[in-house]
């Protein structure tokens, strides 16, 4: 079956614009994560969902960042009033179980460039 | 929170040689340690993982060792091939404790012919 799918692959936003990034996890996967990967760095945790519940949002850098997964499948990461420092690759990952310790499958990411 | 350090940042080896990448973690509660390979412009992909109740795990040319006392774990790649060239990330997490992965900063491995 299909892996984790993210759209768009590339997004250029003018500073101050709002953006919405979409993640389609592997069907049936309980856990969904968002990570931010700056150039030359490892992914950094943003937020975690177990089904539709957002259990951890400790990594969201500011209140301009908002994520949702209303039906426990597709998730959207929204960034309001984008700033240049938001430029990064945003990775979504899903895993089959909620207890952790199982493989997290990553999408190809959305590369956001704020100009 | 958890902090994962990874060394070296770059590693160049000759084809057929071994490569070793080392990571340390700070939170003694961490109990799951995956390694991801990321080729340029592509998604991270799991290559091997280890849990804290195991000291070593091997899968063909790849092995991972874990020292819980010292809080460090290592990736070993033997008989390296050009297709092993990529960025490798170690990570740590606490199962049942939020499950988020804390990643190292990555190692750029280059296998030269």
Query: Which tens digit of pLDDT belongs to each residue from B71-109?
Result: 999 999 999 999 999 999 999 998 765 678 999 999 999
Indicate which of A101, A105, A106, A107 best probes the interface with B, i.e. most B CBs within 10 Å of its own CB. A101
pLDDT: which is higher, A79 or B100:
A79
- C-beta of residue A88 within 8 angstroms of C-beta of residue A109: no
On the question of pLDDT at A81 being above 60, the answer is: yes
d(CA B98, CA B113): 43
Res A102: pLDDT: 79
* Element counts in chain A: helices (H) and strands (E): 0, 11
Kindly tell me the burial class for residue A27, based on how many C-beta atoms sit within 10 Å of its own C-beta (0-12, 13-18, 19 or more).
exposed
Res B98: pLDDT: 61
DSSP-derived 3-state class of residue B84: helix
- pLDDT tens digit string along B20-77? 999 999 999 999 999 999 999 899 999 999 998 889 999 999 999 999 999 999 999 9
CB contact under 8 A, B101 and A45: yes
Question: Which residues in chain B (69-108) have CB-CB distances under 8 A to chain A?
Answer: 89, 91, 93-106
Res B94: pLDDT: 87
Res B97: pLDDT: 57
d(CA B105, CA B82): 22
- pLDDT tens digit string along A22-66? 999 999 999 999 999 999 899 999 999 999 999 999 999 999 999
On the question of pLDDT at A1 being above 60, the answer is: no
CB contact under 8 A, A41 and B104: no
On the question of pLDDT at A9 being above 70, the answer is: yes
Confidence of residue A87 (pLDDT cuts 50, 70, 90): very high
């Amino acid at each position: 079956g299909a892996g984790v799918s993210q759209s768009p692959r590339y997004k250029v936003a003018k500073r101050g614009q709002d953006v919405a990034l979409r993640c389609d996890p592997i069907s049936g996967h309980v856990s969904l994560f968002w990570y931010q990967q700056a150039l030359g760095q490892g992914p950094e945790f943003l937020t975690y969902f177990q089904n539709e519940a957002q259990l951890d949002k400790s990594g969201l850098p500011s209140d301009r960042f908002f994520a949702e997964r209303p039906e426990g499948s597709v998730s959207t990461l929204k960034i309001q009033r984008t700033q240049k420092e938001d430029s990064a690759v945003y990775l979504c990952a899903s895993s089959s179980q909620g207890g952790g310790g199982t493989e997290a499958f990553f999408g190809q990411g959305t590369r956001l460039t704020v100009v | 929170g958890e902090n994962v350090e990874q060394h070296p940042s770059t590693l160049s080896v000759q084809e057929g040689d071994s490569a070793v990448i080392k990571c340390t973690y700070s939170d003694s509660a961490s109990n799951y340690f995956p390694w991801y390979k990321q080729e340029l412009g592509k998604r991270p992909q799991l290559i091997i993982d280890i849990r804290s109740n195991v000291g070593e795990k091997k899968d063909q040319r790849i092995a991972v060792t874990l020292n819980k006392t010292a809080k460090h774990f290592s990736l070993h790649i033997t008989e390296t091939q050009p297709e092993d060239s990529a960025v490798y990330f170690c990570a740590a997490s606490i199962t049942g404790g939020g499950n988020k992965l804390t990643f190292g900063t990555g190692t750029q491995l280059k296998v030269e012919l």
